[in-house]
Amino acid sequence: MSPGSVRNTLAVAGAAGCLMLAAALPAKASEHVVKVTPLGSHDGEFCSRDRALVFEDPNGTRILYDAGRTVAGPEDPRLGDIDVILVSHMHGDHVGDQRIRETNQGSCASPDTGVSTLPQSNTVDIAVKKNSKIVTGSEMPAFFAAKLKDNGGDAANSLLVRFGGEREVGGVAITTVPAVHSNGVAPSFLTGPLAEHLKAAGVGASVGPPTGYVLTFSNGLVVYLSGDTGITAEQKLVVNEHYGAELVVMNIGDTFTTGPKEAAYVINDLIRPKAVIASHANEAATEKGKVREDTRTGEFVSLSSVPVHVPLSGKTLSFDADAGCTEGC
């Protein structure tokens, strides 16, 4: 064999070896993370009305959780494509009875959410424009199906998943879990005589119990979204022992939901995840991106036995399969 032939043979062998080595090596960590982006009222802050989070699966599926009042409608440039919308319950600060016009209007403590989205809701506006699936439990799917149809969307995009069941959308497994709260539909979301009668009586329409969610992403990460809830036995028996949630989005606002002490008990003693994202603080929790002293958020951070990630609006957090924060931490 000539020297040139030897060199060519070695080059081919070397290239084949490199290909085999590349195939054996794991893909970059960034290809296997779940990205979580808060969509709040003020850039880089965690403010009083902030609820909305966008989860992006490694496969690209994008899920909007509780759009509420701080997403500037379907034209909000932060949204991008939205494949699925989750709604924990029908209160205006979660489904969106009003919304911001754009970010950074008003103060962090009292953002300007003066754009009315009644009677359809911010959630329905976004779902119609983005052709998103709305995945809910209880009796909420029928409500959203009617709203989608009335506003030019596809009623079939409203999907049901009740406690104990599971629905896979875009490679993400979704189930609902119990929450202890209320879930009446305010008359302002309704039209016609029924709306007038309910308003006069001071009551809302029932759409069943409120929910939380458990999401299992394609990289194996299991996330519990608490919704608005008090302490429940299911947080230990179902969320922890059955689903094994590793990342938790936990409401800490007090009065209407668990406060920081109760939320810390849920994290430390019932669910025992590897990380938690604070939510629903009902306060101007940060200033220049730093947690303010003497806030519920600060108290929760100090009491939690696992890392607490503060959801600064527009700042993306990335989590691996074990809820380790790999970026934006």
Give the residues across from 106 on adjacent strands.
111
Are the CB atoms for 153 and 128 separated by under 8 Å? yes
Spell out the per-residue pLDDT of the chain, length 329, in tens: 444 443 344 343 444 444 343 344 444 445 699 999 999 999 999 999 999 999 999 999 999 999 999 999 999 999 999 999 999 999 999 999 999 999 999 999 999 999 999 999 999 999 999 999 999 999 999 999 999 999 999 999 999 999 999 999 999 999 999 999 999 999 999 999 989 999 999 998 989 999 999 999 999 999 999 999 999 999 999 999 999 999 999 999 998 899 999 999 999 999 999 999 999 999 999 999 999 999 999 999 999 999 999 999 999 999 999 999 999 99
Q: How far is CA 220 from the centre of its chain?
A: 17
Q: Cα(303)–Cα(278) distance, rounded to whole angstroms?
A: 12
**Cis, bond preceding 119 (omega within 30 deg of 0):** yes
Query: What is the pTM (predicted TM-score) of this model?
Result: 0.90
Backbone angles phi, psi at 214, to 5 degrees: -120, 125
Place of tokens 């009003």: 98
Cα distance between the two ends of the chain: 58
Of 85, 161, 167, 71, which is closest to residue 130 (Cα–Cα)? Answer: 85
The three-class DSSP label of residue 182 is: coil
43-53 burial: b if 16+ Cβ within 10 Å, else e: eebbbbbbbbb
Q: Cα(59)–Cα(81) distance, rounded to whole angstroms?
A: 13
